[in-house]
Amino acid sequence: MVAGDIVLTGLMAVLLVGVAALLTRVENWRSYTPLAGGGAVTGDETTVINREKPAGIIRWLTTVDHKDIGLLYGLYAIIALAVGGIMAMLIRIQLVTPAGAILGNNAYNSILTSHGITMLFLFGTPIIAAFANYFIPLLIGADDMAFPRINAIAFWLLPPAALLIWAGFFLAPVTDNMIEPARTAWTMYTPLSVEQANPGVDLMLLGLHLSGVAATMGAINFIATIFTERNEEVNWANLDIFSWTILTQSALILFAFPLLGSAIVMLLLDRNLATTFFAVEGGGPLLWQHLFWFFGHPEVYILVLPPMGLVSLILPKFSGRKLFGFKFVVYSTLAIGVLSFGVWAHHMFSTGMDPRLRASFMAVSLAIAIPSAVKTFNWITTMWNGRLRLTTPMLFCIGFVSNFIIGGVTGVFLASIPVDLILHDTYYVVGHFHYIVMGAIGFAAFAGIYYWFPVFTGRMYQRTLGKAHFWFSMVGTNITFFAMLALGYLGMPRRYATYQFDGAIAPLTQVSTFHQAATVGAVILFIGQLFFVWNIVQSWLEGPKVEDGDPWNLERDGMLDREFQWFDEQLEADSPEKDPSLLADGGQEEQDDS
């Protein structure tokens, strides 16, 4: 123990000295003091600025530019998507046979837990932050975020968060399984999560906590930016729909994530310092469920509102019509934001809670379907009689609407108490939320990436590969998750590593057939994502340069938004002999007057 402490002390000391040395190398902090030049951000004695950013890796480690940070978020989210996706494939392969094909029970539970947390916290929230960081300032005509440095801090909290959440996988082999991956499921229900002595659970909780801190800092930043940094032409009446959804989402984050953070700290204290927040003699195990879902349900809207905003922004562009009932789309966003805090106990219908309370939660849960449906009708009406152009982003938007309808309707079924008592903790629930998290949120993210690809890369993606990506994703998603809905009706419980229950719980033949169908769908989905990665990487490196500031031909319908106008200005300002890779930076402000 003592030896370990000494080693750790040495390591930490080396780290700290290294940090200090690095800082003195790249930064002249004496120049901050009044002794050497004003203490402002740029001392006036500085040499002629000829570039906006330092070169190479230092640029990415030190950037506070919202566009760079957006790209960093995007890269981070795509890596998390790949990790979570591989975990999902392992789960699906395991379940091809009733006895389980490749994993032991412990490994299955670890991977299941990490898959959920990775996708929700390391892919979902960051991919939204990627779009918001890059495009909100452009859409509202701001120079940057209100607090650029806080923006960078929020991003840099995420890599340590990911390492902590996955820590058990790295540490189990080197610590002789003393530290293992958490097996709590993403909901971390007590008493299970208190009783698992494994320190990997603590590390995962700390990682989640950091990601929550990051999300909260980001939310404060977006609220401040949208309120204070709009240019004079942008007012509340003509604020674009994506900014509205980010504003609402940020408000939800502001109320929900600090609560998750506190609940996690309470859980950590219960685990390490013998407090009794969730013990039977203290707050009781149900307290965790209430706290978790008071965060957890708003979280699902935190994840879905901005994608709805993306679709509301992109879908009209390829329908040749303005968004139908814009005002009502905004109102329904706000309504969902408010209502989402009043439905959390629909995750707890089967816990034996007071039936009168239960009924009121059912009522609000059914009510929240109304604003969701308003949006759906508005998207459909926007397309109605429109001049549809089935580009890749448009295909993903249409796929979003279609999948969201199935996900939403199954949600309404689950919100009804008698139905939920039968379907709770079955694959039906898994099918429901995957229609939304994969079929809707994932699809909207792809739509956004393709739609803005010219802006952030200066190049065009390959259309055929894009369409292949869409169709594989659409077909794969629907096979996989429809099979899960059927599995739920058959009574297959969720979170099982094997299913050799011989008809006692569910009819085995049908269950294995649908599991196999789900796996086939997952393979199709996976292949689709290979097209995606290939397309993005190759097109970014050598795709045809975009020469026109209006690559989607939006001018003719008068729908060229501010971000494309900005892009056009960048193209104009960028003289041809310039290094084309600088284009994405937009760091050309000083050339404007030339």
Partner 1 sequence: MIEEPGLSDQYPTASPWPLFVALGLALSEIGVFVGLFPVAVFGLILFGGSIAGILTESGYVERPWPTLLGVGVVLIVIAAGFTLWQVPVADIALSNVGTGPLFTRLVAVAAAGAVMIAMGGVASVMEQTAA
Distance CA 70, CA 221 (A): 14
Select the binding partner of residue 13 from partner 1, ligand HEM, Cu ion, none (C-beta < 5 to 8 A, by kind): partner 1
Q: Does 220 bind partner 1 (CB under 8 A)?
A: no
Segment lying near ligand HEM (by CB under 6 A), choices 135-143, 254-262, 365-373, 573-581: 365-373
Task: Report the residue number, 415 or 518, with the smaller CB distance to ligand HEM.
Answer: 415
Pick from 278, 295, 433, 453: which binds ligand HEM (CB under 6 A)? 433
Pick from 408, 442, 458, 466: which binds ligand HEM (CB under 6 A)? 408
Q: Does 459 bind ligand HEM (CB under 6 A)?
A: no
The DSSP output letter for 51 is -
Which residues, including other chains, have CB under 8 Å from residue 296's CB and lie 6 or more apart? 187, 344, 347
Q: Does 361 bind ligand HEM (CB under 6 A)?
A: no
Q: How far is the CB of 556 from ligand HEM (least distance, A)?
A: 35
Q: How far is the CB of 347 from ligand HEM (least distance, A)?
A: 5
Q: Does 304 bind ligand HEM (CB under 6 A)?
A: yes
Segment lying near partner 1 (by CB under 8 A), choices 13-21, 246-254, 280-288, 356-364: 13-21
Q: What is the dihedral of CA 507, 512, 517, 523, to 10 degrees?
A: 150
Segment lying near ligand HEM (by CB under 6 A), choices 41-49, 163-171, 312-320, 414-422: 414-422
Which residues, including other chains, have CB under 8 Å from residue 214's CB and lie 6 or more apart? 154, 155, 157, 158, 161
Distance CA 290, CA 39 (A): 49
Residue 276: count other Cβ atoms within 10 Å of its Cβ: 14
Residue 293: closest CA among 258, 251, 343: 343
Distance CA 399, CA 443 (A): 7
Q: Does 40 bind partner 1 (CB under 8 A)?
A: yes
Select the binding partner of residue 86 from ligand HEM, Cu ion, partner 1, none (C-beta < 5 to 8 A, by kind): none
The answer to whether 566 touches 585, Cβ cutoff 8 Å, is no
One-letter amino acid of 575: S
Pick from 3, 21, 29, 592: which binds partner 1 (CB under 8 A)? 29
Residue 506: closest CA among 416, 434, 422, 435: 422
Q: Does 46 bind partner 1 (CB under 8 A)?
A: yes
Distance CA 182, CA 112 (A): 10
Q: Name the strand (E) or helix (H) holding 415.
A: helix 392-415
The DSSP output letter for 49 is P
What does the per-residue mask of binding to partner 1 show for 58-77, with x meaning CB under 8 A? xx-xxxxx--x---------
| Interface of this chain with Cu ion, residues 286 to 325, rule: CB under 5 A | 297
Binding positions for partner 1, rule: CB under 8 A: 5, 8-9, 11-13, 15-16, 19, 22-23, 26-37, 39-43, 45-47, 49, 51-54, 58-59, 61-65, 68, 144, 148-150, 152-153, 155-157, 160-161, 164, 199, 202-203, 206, 209-210, 213, 268, 272-273, 587
